[in-house]
Amino acid sequence: MTIDYQLIIEELKPIKIIQEAEKIKQLSLDYYYFSPILEKQLGEKKADLVVIPNTEEDVLKVAQICVKYKIPLTVRGAGTGNYGQCIPLNGGIVLDMSEMKKIKWIKSGVACVEAGIKISVLEKETKKHGWELRMIPSTYKIATLGGFFGGGSGGIGSINYGQLKDRGNLYRVKVITLEDEPKIIELKGDETRQINHAYGTNGIITELEIPLAPSYNWLDVIVTFPDFIKALKFGQELADSDGIVKKLVSIQAKSIVKYFSSLKPYFEKEQDCALLSVDENSLFSLQELVKQYDGEIIYQQNLSNINHVNLIEFTWNHTTFHARNIDPTITYLQTFFFTIEKVEQMYKYFGDEVMMHIEFLRVAGKAIPAGLQLVKFSTEERLNEIIKYHEDNGAFIANPHTYILEDGGRKSIEPEQLNFKKKVDPYGLMNQGKMRSWK
Ligand SMILES: Cc1cc2nc3c(=O)[nH]c(=O)nc-3n(C[C@H](O)[C@H](O)[C@H](O)COP(=O)(O)OP(=O)(O)OC[C@H]3O[C@@H](n4cnc5c(N)ncnc54)[C@H](O)[C@@H]3O)c2cc1C
């Protein structure tokens, strides 16, 4: 059935609609191009219309019209996803949630907000009450909270609270369905797993209630080490040091330091290093640990100092971002190593072809190393060989070179997500082509 978009525009009025081709193109894409594989597959995809709702009623109306005319619908937060999660494969409507940004309330340890709020805006407010988010992505300045839960996994703070999908990290959501009669439903506790990291394939999240963490005076610290293995072991011990309050333990091989242009003044030479965020009262204990591993603190800055460089924006996938700014042929992997011995094995095997970047995070109560290694891309075959070698040797790759939900981090669809989709999106209109099991 061909869709008459002029008619749709009339029916959608007075909701804000974008029709300019250039703007539609821009709002149809994300950071898919970090992957040379996705770059080839997705660069030409675009929506027919972008719709920007202001209220839940607007979203309900868009849902009703999409169901009535069977229009594909792709939800967008800020479009900072890395795997083409918010790129529409079959045109249709992109629903840009960025105007749904109200803070409903913040009270001791909990915040309730609309899904399109920028994470940085929310955190600025929670800090006024002595709280901060349990975890944030390195894109926190622009990413939305709905997009983080829809497409992200964790980040700064995951060393304490694990990943977004872990029980207790999301209290409640409101979701709008694409049934014959679209409606607003609420999911609580474990039920929220149905929409977590589901790429917006099974419902439009309009509101979230999230737990918060106590806010600290964070100190950004860079420590250099004589070699990578010392830096790695230091990272594990710091991650395991329950008495040292921290929210970021990022270990970078010296081959990566050349990509950190604005950090260069602090480095005498390229050295293996740790980028950290620790509570300022933990500094003395940190210094003792640094000494134990022959490290040297080359930078420390309180975040309230206006001259500080924001170290967060050199970690997680921002490391890839900086490397690609200098060398656009660089791509990346996402790897759960589970032990530092496994990291060491891969570090020695691949050398500089796979530059080691480790983030420590908590998985089932244990601090483990996960990698966002930089890869000098040559061919797709070689990239697949590198992935296979990791997998054959017991490292788990959450493949960032696919837009298919099942082929990325989870390897299979959660049955609860598929069942939920059957209920809330019976016509399969939401983010078509991303959930293979739907077919
Ligand atoms: C440089 C860089 C660094 C990054 N660092 C991190 C990191 O530290 N940790 C991390 O987890 N990720 C990271 N990412 C990925 C991404 O930035 C985050 O996951 C971010 O939180 C996504 O938010 P967004 O608002 O941009 O979502 P989008 O990219 O717009 O959307 C992500 C997915 O969620 C869906 N979605 C968006 N809003 C809704 C909604 N209201 N209802 C239902 N579905 C919705 C979309 O359809 C899409 O599938 C990084 C990306 C880049 C480019």
pLDDT in tens, the chain (439 residues): 789 999 999 999 999 999 999 999 999 999 999 999 999 999 999 999 999 999 999 999 999 999 999 999 999 999 999 999 999 999 999 999 999 999 999 999 999 999 999 999 999 999 999 999 999 999 999 999 999 999 999 999 999 999 999 999 999 999 999 999 999 999 999 999 999 999 999 999 999 999 999 999 999 999 999 999 999 999 999 999 999 999 999 999 999 999 999 999 999 999 999 999 999 999 999 999 999 999 999 999 987 776 778 999 999 999 999 999 999 999 999 999 999 999 999 999 999 999 999 999 999 999 999 999 999 999 999 999 999 999 999 999 999 999 999 988 767 777 888 899 999 999 999 999 999 998 8
Q: Does one domain contain both 408 and 390?
A: no
Considering the domain boundaries, does residue 432 fall inside one?
Answer: no
Task: Give, using CA atoms, the residue closest to atom 7 of ligand 1.
Answer: 137
Is residue 430 within 6 Å of ligand 1 at its C-beta?
A: no
The residue range of the domain holding 125 is: 1-215+404-427
Based on the fold, state whether residues 196 and 298 are members of the same structural domain.
no
- Whether residue 274 sits in one domain with residue 412: no
Distance 434 CA to ligand 1 centre (A): 15
pLDDT of res. 78: 98
In a domain, 399, yes or no: no
Q: Which atom of ligand 1 is nearest to the CA of 115?
A: 41
Q: Beta strands of 35-123 (E only): which ranges?
A: 49-52, 73-76, 93-96, 103-107, 110-114
- The residues, any chain, with a CB within 8 Å of residue 90's CB and separated by 6 or more, are 72, 432, 433
Same domain, 27 and 118: yes
Any atom of ligand 1 within 6 Å of the Cβ of 151 = yes
Cα gap 141→342, rounded to integer Å: 33
Q: Say if residue 225 is in the same domain as residue 307.
A: yes
Tokens 């929670």 sit at which residue?
126
Residues 343 and 337: their CA atoms lie apart, in Å, by 6
Residue 304 alpha carbon to ligand 1 centre in Å: 27
> How many Å lie between the centroid of ligand 1 and the Cα of residue 197?
9
User: What pLDDT is stored for residue 411 in this prediction?
Assistant: 72
94 falls within a domain: yes
* Domain co-membership, 258 together with 234: yes
Examine the domain organization and report whether 291 and 382 are in the same domain: yes
- Establish if 435 belongs to a structural domain: no
**Distance between CA 117 and CA 104 in Å, rounded?**
11
Give the tokens for residue 276.
Answer: 């950290």
Could you tell me if residue 52 is inside a domain?
Answer: yes
Cα distance between residue 315 and residue 125, in whole Å = 24
**Do 110 and 252 reside in the same domain of the chain?**
no
Residue 314, ligand 1, Cβ within 6 A: no
Task: Please work out whether the CB of residue 435 comes within 6 Å of at least one atom of ligand 1.
Answer: no
Q: How many CB atoms lie within 10 A of CB 412?
A: 11
Ligand 1 binding pocket includes 425 (Cβ within 6 Å): no
Radius of gyration of the chain (CA): 22
Instruction: Report the CATH number that the domain containing residue 129 is assigned in CATH.
Output: 3.30.465.10
Neighbouring CB atoms inside 10 A of 244's CB total 21
CB-CB neighbours of 322 under 10 Å: 19
Pocket of ligand 1 contains residue 318 by CB under 6 Å: yes
CATH number at residue 379: 3.40.462.40
67 CB under 6 A from ligand 1?
no
Estimate to the nearest angstrom the gap between the alpha carbon of 296 and the chain centroid: 31
pLDDT at 267: 96
Q: How far is the CA of 394 from the centre of ligand 1 (A)?
A: 28
Pocket test for ligand 1, best of 59, 86, 170 (most atoms within 8 A of CB): 86
Let me know whether 191 and 271 are in one domain.
no
- Assess if residue 282 is contained within a domain: yes
301 domain-assigned: yes
Q: Is the CB of 82 under 6 A from ligand 1?
A: yes
Q: How far apart are the first and last CA of the chain?
A: 19
Structure tokens that stand for 232 in this block: 């790695």
Tell me which of 29, 39, 148 to substitute to probe ligand 1's pocket, judged by most ligand atoms within 8 Å of the beta carbon.
Answer: 148
Q: Which of 42, 76, 141, 313 to mutate to test the pocket of ligand 1 (most atoms within 8 A of CB)?
A: 76
Task: Specify the pLDDT at position 36.
Answer: 97
With contact defined as beta carbons under 8 Å apart, do 52 and 17 qualify? yes
Ligand 1 binding pocket includes 139 (Cβ within 6 Å): yes
Instruction: Give the C-alpha distances (Å, rounded to integers) separating 9 from 15, 19, 48, 65, 140.
Output: 9, 9, 11, 10, 33
How many domains does the chain divide into? 2
Contact 136, 162 (CB under 8 A): no
Q: Is residue 437 part of a domain?
A: no
Residues 6+ apart with CB under 8 A from 235: 249, 251, 274, 340, 358, 360, 369
Q: Report whether 42 contacts 87 (CB < 8 A).
A: yes
Residue 319 Cα distances to 145, 305, 316, angstroms: 21, 23, 6
Q: Are 65 and 48 in contact (CB under 8 A)?
A: no
Evaluate: CB of 409 within 6 angstroms of ligand 1.
no
| Nearest one of 77, 187, 175, 60 to 121, comparing CA atoms | 77
Same domain flag for 311 and 176: no
Predicted pLDDT of residue 347: 98
Neighbours of 56 (CB within 10 A): 16
Same domain, 265 and 306: yes
- 29 CA → ligand 1 middle, Å: 12
Q: Which atom of ligand 1 is nearest to the CA of 153?
A: 11
382, 325: one domain = yes
